[in-house]
Amino acid sequence: MQHLIRTDDFTKEEIEEILADAKLFSDGRFDRILQDKIIITLFFENSTRTKSSFEIAAKRLGAEMVHLDVAKSSTKKGETLVDTAMNLDAMGPHAIIVRHQNAGVPKILSNHTKAAIVNAGDGAHAHPSQAVLDLYTLTEHFGNVAGKKIAIVGDIKNSRVANSNIELLTRFSMEVILVAPPQFLPKTSLRYTHHLEEIIDEVDAIMSLRTQTERHSSQSYASLKDYASDFCITEELVGDRDIILLHPGPVHRNIDISDAMLEDKRCKVLEQVSNGVNIRMAILKKLIAT
């Protein structure tokens, strides 16, 4: 059984196949190729976009969805996560979509299930479907992304979105430049800077990230307002440059991105949300339909 825990679980050719399927699904079609398939969502961490996106994707493919209410599950009675997964797997689902606040949980569960495990985000580790939809959004705009430069801006150290995008976008020959305050930068071999102005004239795209306040014991910035003064993506910063803007959501308005830039035609945030459904349809098709 194939799982999707990290972006590198799929080869470049498999990613290209998913992008092509997502393009076909982008016309809004309902393709019942997963009729009589059962998918369980197991979200131990809050989610709006990812959970809804997977649910809509599954329903458009004809699958039956079962939602485990974690607050009422046996994990609250002391059952281990592995036991929960094994018991759910014994009921015969075809896939289990997992989000957890701790890195590594989906990988552990994948060792104990016959169902395909889909990582919908684990701690600060990985968010593979988000990275694939980001790549799709970029390819829809640029065509061939090889040689394009993208700045990933913000709380990179604590971002599973950044981790997955760095692996995937560099594999598709994009140059990734990291932009963050020192305390938000991981150890990296990639080019990086602490100042947006240093790279704004050379990048083709900017991916702003949400500050992961829930993953910090303390903030080095006195306030998010102080952070925004250095790293918010604004009209003044971007000017009339031919740059597109991405963000995985939820956006902290006027902290990550200004209101004006969110309304700008170069902002692709809502396109990312739309593309997410099509990409997740393609991912579920690959993992379950074949």
- What gap in Å lies between CA 239 and CA 92, rounded to an integer? 54
pLDDT of residue 70: 77
In the prediction, which pLDDT does 217 show?
Answer: 47
What's the first-to-final CA gap in the chain, in angstroms? Answer: 10
For residue 114, what are the CA distances in angstroms to 3, 213, 281? Answer: 10, 36, 20
Contact 28, 143 (CB under 8 A): no
The single residue listed with the structure tokens 């339909």 is 289
Tell me the pLDDT tens digit for each residue of 178-211. 999 999 999 999 999 999 999 999 999 999 998 7
Q: What's the whole-model pTM score?
A: 0.94
On the CB side of 140, CA atoms within 13 Å amount to 22
- Read out DSSP for 202-217? T-SEEEE----GGG-S
> How far apart (Å, rounded) are the C-alpha atoms in residues 33 and 195?
48
pLDDT value of position 74: 60
Instruction: Give the HSE-up count for residue 188: Cα atoms under 13 Å, Cβ half-sphere.
Output: 19
Give the tokens for residue 204: 């083709």
Give how far Cα 134 sits from Cα of 23, 158, 206, Å. Answer: 14, 18, 11
Distances (CA, A) of 267 to 11, 44, 172, 262: 29, 30, 22, 6
What is the spatial distance between Cα 178 and Cα 16, in angstroms, rounded to a whole number? 25
92: left (phi over 0), alpha (psi -120 to 50) or beta: left
- Identify the segments of the chain with pLDDT beneath 50: 216-218
201: left (phi over 0), alpha (psi -120 to 50) or beta: alpha
Q: Residue 209 is encoded by which pair of tokens?
A: 């990230």
pLDDT at 218: 47
> How far, in Å, CA of 288 to CA of 94, rounded?
7
